[in-house]
Amino acid sequence: MVLSIRKNKSPEVPNSCPLSECMTVLGGVWTPNVIWCLSGGPRRFSELQIDIPQVSAKVLTTRLRELEKKGVVDRNVKPTSPPSVEYSLTELGNDLIPAIDAIVRVGHKLKENAG
């Protein structure tokens, strides 16, 4: 018996899928963690390394550059001696916090069900 293909009843997706756009930002390893840590306010690179000790300096640098390029993170060089750099979320970056928070809440439920 051959099963017929059912029509997809989810809302129609435009040519440039908003979900895919969002996931290209959040999909990188450690990216949600970086955004989450910046949700509390500006952080220097060394502070982010303390916040996320498992991430290597190379990967953290890469993620911060990607997020800056995508308009999610601002990089602000402070005129100190020696110069220091602070990273903070842009308005777009702050818009991602509720989505990450929802994922965290589901993650807690998944952990409860697994244990």
Domain ranges of the chain: 29-114
Which residue pairs, CB below 8 angstroms and at least 24 apart, start in 41-47? 41/88, 42/76, 42/86, 42/87, 42/88, 43/86, 43/87, 43/88, 44/84, 44/85, 44/86, 44/87, 45/85, 45/87
Q: Is 114's pLDDT higher than 90? A: no
Averaged pLDDT, 101-114: 92
Q: What is the DSSP letter of 30?
A: T
Q: What is the DSSP letter of 28?
A: S
Mean of the per-residue pLDDT values of the chain: 91
Q: What is the pLDDT of residue 13?
A: 60
Instruction: Say whether pTM exceeds 0.75.
Output: yes
What pLDDT, in 10s, does the model give residues 21-44?
Answer: 888 889 889 999 999 999 999 999
Listing from the earlier edge strand, what are the strands of the sheet with 43-44?
Answer: 43-44, 84-89, 73-78
Q: What is the largest CA-CA distance in the chain?
A: 75
Q: What is the pLDDT of residue 7?
A: 83
CA-based nearest residue to 96, from 17, 29, 35: 35
Tell whether domain 29-114 is in CATH 3.30.750.24.
no
Least confident of 4-18, 27-41, 67-81: 4-18
Q: Residues near 35 by Cβ (< 8 Å), separated by ≥ 6?
A: 26, 67, 72, 73, 89, 93, 96, 97, 100
